[in-house]
Amino acid sequence: MEEATPVTSGGTFLTYYRFRSFGESNPDDIDVNAPMIAFTFDDGPNPENTERILKTLTENYSHATFFVVGSNAEKYPDTLKAIASAGCEIGNHTYGHANLTSISWEEAQEQIDKTNRAVNKAIGEDTTVIRPPYGAYDDNLLNALQEPVVLWDLDTEDWDSRDAQKIADNILSSVKDGDIVLMHDIYDSTADAVEIVVPKLKEQGYQIMSVSEMAAYKGKELELGKAYGKFKSEE
Ligand code: ZN
């Protein structure tokens, strides 16, 4: 996927996105003045639900970031390839969903590297961003990690409710421009929720993208040693 770059002018996303997938075309498809959100999915890949979510995203010219667990990544290389070829981003969620603050740095590094090896074997590239499981990190970890840390600010609590309409309502009732939305692509109910919510967000003018795309379109450079929960244009 081409690295997205910020644009200050260009075509209107809403005009174009019925016809083209913006990740594979040019940045002029995005209206940087229209609202954006990043969708993120943790704990997969999952052959069935990840693929369903990708189908919905692709049909709606949208992208997301998938924070994969290395042990699943090893099992499902074809799903990783499908994520990449849909123009979506693959992030690191450790090999075994480890709490990185309760293990040694050497162990943490192995958790991350092993995931990168599985991802690289499937798509020929490492992960670009990292989400520590449970959102657990400390300053030492933050300074040592070799990928920017991405958290979230809109928690759908999909793992708890397992209720598609509730998950969709959680997003629609509080979504704001620049939000990073937390979901998990291992549940049927989350794949169902994505089918409900994506067309509604599009009706409201939202452009749904990966974390790195949204950062770029908001003019933010993701830096090492920082943790990001949202991207606001005015900050
Ligand atoms: Zn997780």
Angle of helix 164-174 versus helix 188-203 axis, rounded to 10: 30
Positions of the chain with pLDDT under 70:
1-28, 233-235
Q: Quote the CA–CA distance of 5 and 170 in Å, as a whole number.
A: 30
How long a stretch of residues is the chain?
235
Q: Quote the CA–CA distance of 10 and 32 in Å, as a whole number.
A: 9
What is the Å distance from ligand 1's center to 36 Cα?
A: 24
Q: Quote the CA–CA distance of 108 and 155 in Å, as a whole number.
A: 25
Residue type, 112: I
What is the Å distance from ligand 1's center to 232 Cα?
A: 25
Residue 184 CB burial class (10 angstroms; 0-12, 13-18, ≥19) = buried
What is the Å distance from ligand 1's center to 96 Cα?
A: 10
Of 29, 31, 42, 179, catalytic? 42
pLDDT in tens, 132-162: 999 999 999 999 999 999 999 999 999 999 9
Task: Report phi then psi at 193, rounded to 5.
Answer: -60, -40
Residue 67 CB burial class (10 angstroms; 0-12, 13-18, ≥19) = buried
Give the model's pLDDT for residue 13. Answer: 40
Rounded to the nearest 5 degrees, what angle is found at the Cα of 196, between the Cα atoms of 62 and 60? 20
Give the model's pLDDT for residue 29. Answer: 72
**Does 97 participate in catalysis according to the annotation?**
no
What is the Å distance from ligand 1's center to 39 Cα?
A: 14
Model-level pTM? 0.88
**Does 63 participate in catalysis according to the annotation?**
no
Task: Report phi then psi at 139, rounded to 5.
Answer: -60, -40
CA–chain centroid gap for 3, Å, is 15
What is the Å distance from ligand 1's center to 137 Cα?
A: 13
Inter-residue contact 103 to 144 (CB < 8 Å): no
What is the Å distance from ligand 1's center to 49 Cα?
A: 16
What is the Å distance from ligand 1's center to 61 Cα?
A: 26
Give the model's pLDDT for residue 32. Answer: 87
pLDDT in tens, 160-182: 999 999 999 999 999 999 999 99
What is the Å distance from ligand 1's center to 218 Cα?
A: 26
HSE at residue 74, side-chain half, CA atoms within 13 A, is 10
Give the model's pLDDT for residue 24. Answer: 43
Of 29, 184, 185, 192, catalytic? 184
What is the Å distance from ligand 1's center to 24 Cα?
A: 29
Give the model's pLDDT for residue 235. Answer: 47
